[in-house]
Amino acid sequence: MRPPEGLDPHATSHPTASFLQRIRLSGRAPESILRDYIYLSGWEGTPFTDVYQRLRNNSSWRTHTLPTSHNVLKDAPEEYLKLLLDIADRTMAARTGATPPTTSPPRAVQDPAPGSDSAHRNVD
């Protein structure tokens, strides 16, 4: 798979199989594990749209969208950091039973639950 346009000129092709190969984890994950998927919707030709669509309709996952290219750290570093920190706060709150801290309105968006009327909603 060729890297997206505009990346570092040293970027090289990535084997497609690395995106498709399943991993095998040993041990058992906690039932309450939180699963988040960040979809970068501004990358034309992204191979991740099918994964995003599948996870968006899976109630075990929370999907988020950032309208950036694959180079999210270059295109939207603050929005990406905000989203990661929001996810970390929710994860820690879930583990400790605490309420996640309230923050200023985020710039990243969480995708609506399947069947929801709204197109997007803010992560809070």
Amino acid at 30: P
Q: Is residue 63 in some structural domain?
A: yes
- Residue 106 included in any domain: yes
* Residue 53 within a domain: yes
- Mean of the pLDDT values across residues 103-113? 52
What are the pLDDT digits (tens) for 62-106? 999 999 988 899 899 999 999 999 999 988 888 787 776 665 444
CB atoms within 10 A of CB 68: 19
Judge whether 25 lies within some domain: no
Tokens of 84: 């990661």
Of residues 66 and 122, the one with the higher pLDDT is 66
More confident residue, 76 or 112: 76
Q: How does pLDDT run across 3-17, given as a tens digit for each residue? A: 766 667 777 777 777
Distance CA 13, CA 121 (A): 35
Residue 46 inside a domain? The answer is yes
Task: Say if 87 falls within a structural domain.
Answer: yes
* CA distance linking residue 60 with residue 84, whole number of Å: 18
Query: How many domains does the chain fold into?
Result: 1
Domain that holds residue 79: 32-122
